[in-house]
Structure 1
Amino acid sequence: MAVKRKTEAGAPAFTGAQLLTFDRYRERRDLLGVLLDKDQRYTFSEVDALIDNFMKGKVN
């Protein structure tokens, strides 16, 4: 059974390991493998914000 919890806003939260299996993030699995801690829980909005912040980062 999927391990998830409800946050204050009622949004489900999933572990980083679970998020890597979702079709929603199929194209970003390599990036999420680096950004996410496999045991920490994230909501979809948190993951989307992490991706956006990374993609907007400056290249040195």
Structure 2
Amino acid sequence: MGKIGFTEILIILVIILLLFGGKKIPELMKGLGTGIKEFKSAAKDDQPAASKKEEEQKQ
């Protein structure tokens, strides 16, 4: 398979626009951004806990 070009990305965006409509897309992007922020903060918070478990296992 080749790389995804500009034409393919444009076709995908048009299909998304047709499926969800112009008014729903900003809401979807806001929800996606919020989800990514929560995932990053949860991953950051979990990292020290994982290192503590590793230290306990070494001892």
Same fold (TM over 0.5): no
TM tier relative to shorter chain: 0.3 to 0.5
Higher helix share: 2
**Which structure has the greater CA radius of gyration?**
2
The structure where strand makes up a greater share of residues is 1
Give the structure-1-normalised TM-score: 0.32
